[in-house]
């Protein structure tokens, strides 16, 4: 007997002992989408059928897979493929719908139809959740169905469930993460090998990390959607993508990465969700996504390639760090499958997923009210008095300077000013005034600095 046969026999014996394998109560699964993620989900459902049956208590049976092109060979029985997703989600023998097609429409309507019919839903669709969680969670609640979405944030990394469940007795103050694999892949390659932006983006797309439209990745929309989801569950407040301040990485240059390295930093696209307690004791939150310098010794600085990491700070737990593969078919399928097993167990044993929790309703501060440190890079004339003039503009606008670094001479110098915490509006006014100075040829970049003690 081969080791596989022996494992299968053990599984069958075990299942028979517990009376589950071949149970009269199979759980019917519909999968919407068979692209990067869906292909891996279907593979796991089929390859690990016995283990999944043992873990759930009943077999998971794939009823069908909705795609746009049902004629394409996808290595599964053609009878399982359909272009009629609506008919699939309304089938009586479907208990759980796995939505991995992406986009807003028709995913939103299909999920609502499924939930309204009492079917539980597992989705990886952060773009949809970031704007419609309220509507979808309401449909789940009204119809006693589950809505799970671990895979929507940071691929394989369990972070949504720890926030919703493990930390539900604690008070989360901060969630900071690298939550977009594509941009981290690009920034890592640019800084480690000097690779060209467009070439690395093409490679990220080829590897299945990038969204169907990579603008969502490079302009920070994908990370902003994930930040909205993280902030919602961390702070028990409904946060949508419109509440998230967002900047992408498309303007980051090789020179930015060089100057970052010269000051002992690296550049990362960060998603920052923060609780701020005001003087009177009231809380508000700040949710923002932008590329920022972080010191090389910061735990997030070592996260490279398509890997993601999320640091959570909670009042009693202290600092927790979650790290792993943030994108790609198999890693994302792992998170989807974890949710699918939870939803199937609930179907089998009668449990329920936690619903949406938005009781705190914390106000969300605009970016202009959120002080951060800045790294201002400019080309200046190298002559007496220039430094004083430049420093004077910072002082005039109430922006305090932490360090100044100058390189080059004769034909012009590069001046890098690092500030203490300053408000966005004060910094923007400073930069406008600097650009008007005769001695400043150009302000070449303004990046935030995060992760420092000051
Ligand atoms: P993908 O490779 O583009 O696959 C999308 C699949 O959905 C395709 O099979 C497509 O059918 C099908 N589809 C799209 N619109 C459809 C429609 N109107 N009717 C029926 N089928 C439709 O996408 P993906 O990368 O797997 O991503 C899927 C979801 O997971 C997205 O929400 C994404 O944000 C999320 N996600 C992705 C990753 C990742 O690393 N890729 C990680 C985490 C979360 P055809 O094959 O016929 O075109
Ligand atoms: N496009 C996303 C990324 C996929 O690059 O992180 C994972 O959500």
Residue 6, pLDDT > 70, answer: no
Tokens 């068979």 map to which residue? Answer: 34
Domain ranges of the chain: 3-155+330-349, 160-326, 371-449
Residue bearing the CA closest to ligand 2, atom 1? 210
**Phi first, then psi: what are they for 297, rounded to 5°?**
-85, -5
Taking Cα atoms as reference points, which of 230, 207, 222 lies closest to residue 322?
230
- Nearest atom in ligand 2 to 214's CA: 1
Catalytic residues: 226
What is the whole-number distance in angstroms between the Cα of residue 183 and the centre of ligand 2? 9
Question: pLDDT > 70: what percent of the chain?
Answer: 94
* CATH architecture, domain 160-326: 2-Layer Sandwich (3.30)
What six digits make up the tokens of 311? 């640091």
CB of 212 within 6 A of ligand 1: the answer is yes
CB of 15 within 6 A of ligand 1: the answer is no
Question: 27 vs 6, which has greater pLDDT?
Answer: 27
Residue 225, pLDDT > 90, answer: yes
- Nearest atom in ligand 1 to 152's CA: 44
What is the whole-number distance in angstroms between the Cα of residue 110 and the centre of ligand 1? 14
Condensed to tens digits (0 to 9), the pLDDT of residues 59-99 reads 999 999 999 999 999 999 999 999 999 999 999 999 999 99
- Nearest atom in ligand 2 to 126's CA: 8
Residue 292: CB atoms within 10 Å: 26
What is the whole-number distance in angstroms between the Cα of residue 247 and the centre of ligand 1? 25
CB of 222 within 6 A of ligand 2: the answer is yes
From first CA to last CA, the distance across the chain in angstroms is 64
Burial (CB < 10 A; 0-12, 13-18, 19+), residue 282, is: exposed
Q: What is the DSSP string of 163-180?
A: IIIITTTS-EEEEEEE--
CB of 332 within 6 A of ligand 1: the answer is yes
- 3-155+330-349 and 371-449: identical CATH topology: no
CB of 181 within 6 A of ligand 2: the answer is yes
Question: pLDDT > 90: what percent of the chain?
Answer: 82
What is the whole-number distance in angstroms between the Cα of residue 430 and the centre of ligand 2? 35
CB of 177 within 6 A of ligand 2: the answer is no
Lowest mean pLDDT among 101-110, 137-146, 202-211, 309-318: 202-211
Residue bearing the CA closest to ligand 1, atom 34? 125
Residue bearing the CA closest to ligand 1, atom 24? 36
CATH code: domain 371-449 is 3.30.70.260
197 — pLDDT class (breaks 50, 70, 90): confident
Distance CA 114, CA 107 (A): 10
Average pLDDT over every residue of 154-169: 98
Q: Which of 32, 41, 68 for mutating ligand 1's site (highest number of atoms within 8 Å of CB)? A: 68
- Nearest atom in ligand 1 to 212's CA: 3
* pLDDT given for residue 263 in this prediction: 87
- Nearest atom in ligand 2 to 308's CA: 6
Average pLDDT over every residue of 320-333: 96
Average pLDDT over every residue of 357-367: 96
Taking Cα atoms as reference points, which of 219, 229, 338, 248 lies closest to residue 287?
229
Residue 279: CB atoms within 10 Å: 5
* pLDDT given for residue 74 in this prediction: 97
Q: Which neighbouring-strand residues pair with 174?
A: 274, 313
What superfamily does domain 3-155+330-349 belong to in CATH? NAD(P)-binding Rossmann-like Domain (3.40.50.720)
CB of 374 within 6 A of ligand 1: the answer is no
Instruction: Judge contact between 377 and 443, C-beta under 8 A.
Output: yes
Q: Which of 66, 67, 159, 216 for mutating ligand 1's site (highest number of atoms within 8 Å of CB)? A: 67
What is the whole-number distance in angstroms between the Cα of residue 217 and the centre of ligand 2? 7
CB of 325 within 6 A of ligand 1: the answer is no
* pLDDT given for residue 281 in this prediction: 87
Average pLDDT over every residue of 39-56: 97
What is the whole-number distance in angstroms between the Cα of residue 11 and the centre of ligand 1? 33
What is the whole-number distance in angstroms between the Cα of residue 243 and the centre of ligand 2? 20
Residue 1, pLDDT > 60, answer: no
How far is CA 10 from its chain centroid? 39
pTM, full prediction: 0.93
- Nearest atom in ligand 2 to 152's CA: 8
283 — pLDDT class (breaks 50, 70, 90): very high
Average pLDDT along the chain: 93
* pLDDT given for residue 10 in this prediction: 52
Residue 363: CB atoms within 10 Å: 10
Residue 206, pLDDT > 70, answer: yes
């Amino acid at each position: 007997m081969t080791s596989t046969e022996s494992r299968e026999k053990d599984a069958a014996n075990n299942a028979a002992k517990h009376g589950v394998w071949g149970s009269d109560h199979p759980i019917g699964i519909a999968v919407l989408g068979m692209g990067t993620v869906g292909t891996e989900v279907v593979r796991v459902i089929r390859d690990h059928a016995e283990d999944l049956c043992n873990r759930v208590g009943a077999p998971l049976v794939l009823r069908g897979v909705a795609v746009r092109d049902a004629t394409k060979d996808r290595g599964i029985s053609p009878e399982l493929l359909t272009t009629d997703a609506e008919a699939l989600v309304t089938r009586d023998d479907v208990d759980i719908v796995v939505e991995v097609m992406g986009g807003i429409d028709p995913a939103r309507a299909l999920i609502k139809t499924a939930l309204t019919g009492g079917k539980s839903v597992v989705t990886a669709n952060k773009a949809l959740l970031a704007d419609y969680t309220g509507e979808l969670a309401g449909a789940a609640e009204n119809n006693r169905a589950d809505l799970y979405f671990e895979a929507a944030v940071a691929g394989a990394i369990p972070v949504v469930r720890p926030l919703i469940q493990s930390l539900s007795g604690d008070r989360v103050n901060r969630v900071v993460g690298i939550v977009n694999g594509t941009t981290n892949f690009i920034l890592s390659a640019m800084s480690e090998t000097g690779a060209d932006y467009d070439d690395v983006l093409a490679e990220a797309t080829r590897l299945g990390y990038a969204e169907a439209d990579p603008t969502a990745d490079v302009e920070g929309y994908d990370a902003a959607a994930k930040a909205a989801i993280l902030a919602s569950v961390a702070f028990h407040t409904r946060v949508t993508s419109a509440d998230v301040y967002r900047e992408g990485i498309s303007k980051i240059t090789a020179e930015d990465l060089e100057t970052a390295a010269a000051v002992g930093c690296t550049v990362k696209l960060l998603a920052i969700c923060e609780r701020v307690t005001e003087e009177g004791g009231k809380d508000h939150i700040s949710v923002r996504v932008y590329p920022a310098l972080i010191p090389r010794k910061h735990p997030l600085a070592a996260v490279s390639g398509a890997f993601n990491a999320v640091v959570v700070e909670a009042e009693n737990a202290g600092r927790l760090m979650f790290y792993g593969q943030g994108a790609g078919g198999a890693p994302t399928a792992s998170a989807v499958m974890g949710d699918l097993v939870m939803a199937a167990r609930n179907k089998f044993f009668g449990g329920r997923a936690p619903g949406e929790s938005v009781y705190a309703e914390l106000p969300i501060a605009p970016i202009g009210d959120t002080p951060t440190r800045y790294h201002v890079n400019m080309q200046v004339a190298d002559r007496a008095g220039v430094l004083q003039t430049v420093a004077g503009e910072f002082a005039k606008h109430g922006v305090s300077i932490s360090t100044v670094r100058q390189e080059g001479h004769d034909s012009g110098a590069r001046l890098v000013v690092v500030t203490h915490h300053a408000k966005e509006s004060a910094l923007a006014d400073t930069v406008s005034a600097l650009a008007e100075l005769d001695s400043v040829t150009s302000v070449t970049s303004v990046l935030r600095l995060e992760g420092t003690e000051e």
